[in-house]
Chain A
Amino acid sequence: MTLMQEFTKGLWKEMPPFRLVLGLCPTLAVTTSAENGIGMGVAVVFVLTLSNILVSMMRHIIPKAVRIACFIVIAASLVVSLELLMQAYVYSLYEKLGIFVPLIVVNCIILGRAEAFAAKNGVAASIADGLGIGLGFTMALTFLGSLREILGNGTWFGMNLFGDAFEPFQIMVKAPGAFICLGLILAGMNCINRWQAHRTGTEPVSIGCQACGASCKSCQLQMAMPEDAKKGV
């Protein structure tokens, strides 16, 4: 695959969390507004791209047995730098995202891409992959954040959209709204996949593990998969 393809696959074909169901916790928690969604997305782009670069450069040095621990330490060091940068330049955003900034360390996207891609590919390809997947994640979070902010608060990026007469669905910016919105979006993605498959006469791509490529040993979703799907990975 060319660099361009590595980059663009993250924008739709392997877009987390809508196609690869990874990194759900920040997706659900911080998307109460479009602005928070973008902020979290950019933070993940930063960590993901740099961690991909470092993992890719060190892929011949890291022993296979302790690779997960190494990836976690690399991600943790990057998250510490990110925290210091955010405290210095965008403190209000840092406060709003709360514990979800340090929790980027245990975000499955970072570990998943390190293991599935950066540990097997060169530096240039890993940068393209990190930027693409990160940007896809940012877009997904901004989309979900916009949806919840518009319905739940009647605003978009703080702009009032409907005037005073609009009675917002308060539930959308609270916890249940996050789960239901994401569930319906995933159902929509399934619908699109099935329609595409029907048009081209192929098997529909199911959402989730097939596109991931990381080892299931480090993944919490592994028990969600039927046995035969695991063998393919």
Chain B
Amino acid sequence: MDILTIFVSAIFVNNILLSQFLGNCPYLGCSREKGVAVGMGAAVIFVTVVATLFTWLMQHYVLDPLKLGYLQTIVFIVVIAALVQFVEMFLKKMVPPLYRSLGIYLPLITTNCAVMGVALLMQRKGYDLVTSLLYAAGYSSGFLLALLLMAGIRERLDTCRLPKTMAGTPIALVMAGLMSLAFMAFKGMAQ
């Protein structure tokens, strides 16, 4: 499969948020302003790609040879948690400007199911390392796209007069539903 097909499939057709339902908490939490959405999205792209790399290596060079496949869940979450901690320390020490813009989102990412979800999906589908990394980049870019679109809509919503019962989370979910409907139109473009 060529790179373009992978990206179209991961960003539009199988958007991680709008068709696979992963990462809903940050979606509702960080889609108030565009700046916050971009920060969170960038942090997720970074961590997802690195986490997919490490979990893939872990699965193929440690778990599989030792026949410890059943420990996948616990190993993956520990790898991701340690990785996030390490990335945070590294950025703080070596790249302070980047840390200042991404830093506050990093601790939240450990419990973001999009990161763990992508790592698990790659193992279930049995992709090789390069394909997995491309998919990870694609999926997390799709997450950034959905977050950014939603932030744009919600900035508009703030100035609208809504029924009090719909304000806040309910209208955000209904908007997500309508966006998901729009994304369904991409079906057929790729697998």
Contact = CB atoms under 8 A, between A and B. Distances in A.
Interface in B60-113: 70-74, 76-78, 81, 107-108, 110-113
A103 B120 contact: yes
Chain A residues touching B, majority SS = helix
A3 interface: no
A72 B78 CA distance: 8
A223 B78 contact: no
Interface in A165-213: 171, 174-180, 182-184, 186-188, 190-191, 194, 206-208
Interface residues of A, number: 53
Contacts of A174: 184
B57 interface: no
Interface stretch (A33-41, A52-60, A77-85, A152-160): A77-85
Contacts of A107: 113
B10 interface: no
B89 to A, nearest CB: 14
Interface in B23-78: 23-26, 28-30, 32, 36, 70-74, 76-78
Contacts, number: 154
Contacts of A217: 107
A6 B191 CA distance: 48
Contact of A25 (B23, B165, B173): B23
Contacts of B78: 72-73, 76
- Place the interface of chain B in its size category: 35 or more
A93 B162 CA distance: 40
Contacts of A69: 81
A176 B177 contact: yes
Given A99-B121, A175-B19, A207 B168 contact: yes
A1 interface: no
Interface string A200-233: 0000001110000000011111111000000000
Interface of A: 21-22, 24-25, 28-29, 68-69, 72-73, 76-77, 79-80, 83-84, 98-99, 102-103, 105-108, 111, 171, 174-180, 182-184, 186-188, 190-191, 194, 206-208, 217-224
Given A29-B21, A29-B22, A220-B25, 8 more contacts: A21-B169, A28-B21, A99-B121, A178-B177, A183-B172, A183-B173, A187-B166, A223-B30
